[in-house]
Structure 1
């Protein structure tokens, strides 16, 4: 593959049209000039859309037939990741179908797979790793398992079992939870030597900047990833439809990137200051 995804990243998920992809890429070019972080566009695929059906919040899920065209419009320094969501335990065949569609993986159009799956099967991940050896595998850790709340230590224990098979671990911040809980979990995992950690879930401009500034007391903590999705969308009510759809809001995208990259840059400068001469 011609691209790699070896650095921490900031991802904007949910682009569905070529116009949106180009708009996000333009914002990336404006905000990422001096950062070590890689800009990432995340494309959402669900079990339903993979199988040709509609899904809730359909406005953020492109049709599979449109995915290769969207991926081809990711250019410059940005990278493409496909975020796959399913409730089924066996997901390898689904991932294979997505990445094989019009040779998406073979043609180097996708740099990573984000498994938006609650505590995914390690055996299934190993099958993905064996089949797509250059693919970066991203997984999310949740504070829930089998309907039970997990404490910070339990989450970290479970997460360790996935290393070194996965490349990145994202802490999925639930709606309504304070950022401090995610920071505590980050500290527990970092203390065990787990690297390539990031944050996703209910993350917005303010909470992302808060996470960065809370962690920068330790200069090495500038190197984590952040994924935003819901916070850069606006809801609109469609006549005759009781469920409001959400659309990507470029104003919110720009605001998120501006505040987050500013905080990351400050943290990065602190890290450089503490480097040996």
Structure 2
């Protein structure tokens, strides 16, 4: 558990990244984060397993793209570092890979700068920014110094857009980032859904999370598929997160996430 929060982190207000990290592996959180996560997990069977499968999907997707020759990754909404971080997976395949991590939580950035060390052949950068302001990221000098926007880049938005409410136009945000990427780039995306759940479980989830400080918007398959406009989904398409190119690493009691990877046309 973090003791001294970095500047800008409020331990009394739950953070999406810390709540998610607690649900995944139960560390690097404050009491407010644990309380929010425990309330949600009490109402949502399989939520922790689904979070772990979502993390495993990230590794499988990055590994697959590395095998296809992708050497650049822009990881938005990085979250608390854990095992199998984007640069670790990518640089295990190709040490020269370059990765930029982006998050708006100072605690995440504090951990990232301490723990996420690049292979000497590659490069890793970390910037504190909000995904709702694409230009602040795309024009950031550390991003421009690390990534070559004339060559394919994998845009990683794993469990990110579910924290963006409709009024902030998540589809428009994806489009803004996608327009900056050259042809042959990829979008790696996973998103919360209630599609696979019983009506009772879905209602329990909405009831428990309605008044929580950490905003999460579940969306349908059709809505999530819309984020891939301008991309061609690679096999097996947009599927339950545990079904993307592998049987689940953790057995899901219920499935809470869709996942997919698309290539920019």
TM-score class normalised by the smaller sequence: 0.3 to 0.5
The structure with more strand, counted as a fraction of residues = 1
Q: Which has the larger radius of gyration?
A: 1
Q: TM-score normalised to the size of structure 1?
A: 0.35
